[in-house]
Amino acid sequence: MSHANIPQALLVLPRLRVQNANAISSPLTHGFPSVTAFTGLMWALERKLAQADVPLHLHAVGVVCHHHQEQVTQGYVRSFNLTRNPVDKDGSTAAIVEEGRIHLEITLVFTVSEKSATGVAPTLVQGAQEHRQQWADAAGRVLSQMRVAGGSLLPSRAGPGRRVRPWMELLPDDAQKRAEHFRAWRRQWLPGFALVGRDDLLAERLRTLQATDRQATLLDAWLHAARFNHQPVKPEEGKAQSADGKVPWEDPLRKRGSGWLVPIPVGYAALSARHAAGSVLNARDAAAPLRFVESVYSIGEWISPHRLTHLEQLLWQAETDEAKGLYRCRNGYQPAPESADAAVEAEEWDDDEDAYAYP
């Protein structure tokens, strides 16, 4: 297997300040850019790096969000803050196209390898740390001239204990050493939350619904998991009802410490056959084949980086199934088995209360 197909190093672009990124991630979701926006950014960055004579191949991307501010009106019902367009020729109000915007502070994590010619010694592995830092700095300069999820990059703000300069480190071959390095790396991404995939929870929710309704579908499970489903809770056996007669309400599938779960788009599913390049009028790229698609949805979870045990849990990579017409992103997160220690930790630090406190 070619070295270009095996991740050799980690490229980190920390504390990126993004202004007016796209907050509408799909026809049904909003609040953070889609994962596909960051995989698309990864491919565009690789092409730009090639033009800058930086021979890096980018394999997968991880996203850690440190701060976000969606541009919406506050209140029980929220709406996007929209721009006021100039009036028409006759003086009437021009039509408003709804645009969702969000300000972000994020860290992007890429696994990379070197695209070296046959018979040429790999510079990435054998070169010094100074050389890797030069490539990391070049990646930062290139990215500063690009759009991130439709938003513009602002200069990073340095501060005590805050590393804002891009950096690159080799990935150890030994699994134990790689785990030790990752424990050191993930501390640099605090405080923040990493977006991981939870397809397992969507499947579990479907099984729960089908236990009472055999006609329930994946769409029903996704909609059910995307909202709070409160219901009255009966007192436990042997316990008396509340003296005031009030009955508590809660979501039995979103108990305390269950995590910050969100509906997310993860890719696209084909609606048509592939059309030859240039055969569809007004296509964005007349030199590439075209296929009409619709969004594919799943469940994601925002999780603190210190709860991740290895690098693959953080990363997203694209997966293509031409036979099924499926183009989606996959994440390597696997939940750890529940234990007594985990239950105590969840009780001491309630993710839900901390997460939903953001504006």
Owning domain of residue 138: 3-72+99-197
Q: Evaluate whether residue 188 is within a structural domain.
A: yes
33 in Cβ contact with 23 (< 8 Å): yes
What's the pTM value of the predicted model, to 2 decimals? 0.84
In 118-256, alpha helices (H): 123-126, 129-144, 175-187, 199-210, 218-225
In the prediction, which pLDDT does 340 show? 38
Q: What is the pLDDT of residue 96?
A: 73
How many Å separate Cα 252 from the centre of its chain? 27
Q: Do the domain assignments include residue 328?
A: no
| 245 found inside a domain | no
Asked, for residue 218, whether it belongs to a domain, the answer is no
Neighbouring residues of 117: CB distance < 8 A, sequence distance ≥ 6: none
Enter the tokens of residue 35: 């994962």
Residue 223 CB burial class (10 angstroms; 0-12, 13-18, ≥19): middle
Tell me what pLDDT residue 256 has: 79
Q: What is the model's pLDDT at position 229? A: 86
Distance CA 51, CA 349 (A): 47
114 assigned to some structural domain: yes
> What does the block give as tokens for 102?
């969000």
Taking a C-beta distance cutoff of 8 angstroms, is the pair 202, 333 a contact? no
Long-range contacts of 126-134 (CB under 8 A, 24+ apart): 132/9, 132/168, 132/169, 132/170, 133/167, 133/168
Q: What 3-state DSSP class applies to 69?
A: strand
**Residue 230: inside a domain, yes or no?**
no
pLDDT of residue 100: 87
Task: Flag whether 34 is in a domain.
Answer: yes
* pLDDT value for 131: 84
d(CA 127, CA 322): 39
* Structural domain count, the chain: 1
* Per-residue pLDDT tens digits of the chain, which is 359 residues long: 455 578 889 999 999 999 999 999 998 898 999 999 999 999 999 999 999 998 999 999 999 999 998 888 887 887 888 777 777 788 777 777 778 899 999 999 999 998 876 656 566 766 678 888 999 999 999 999 999 999 999 988 877 777 889 999 999 888 899 999 999 999 999 999 999 999 999 999 999 999 998 999 999 999 999 888 888 887 776 666 666 778 888 888 888 778 889 999 999 999 999 899 889 988 888 888 999 999 999 999 999 999 999 999 999 999 999 888 999 999 989 887 764 344 434 444 344 333 323 22
Residue 276 in domain:
no
According to the model, what pLDDT value does residue 350 have?
42
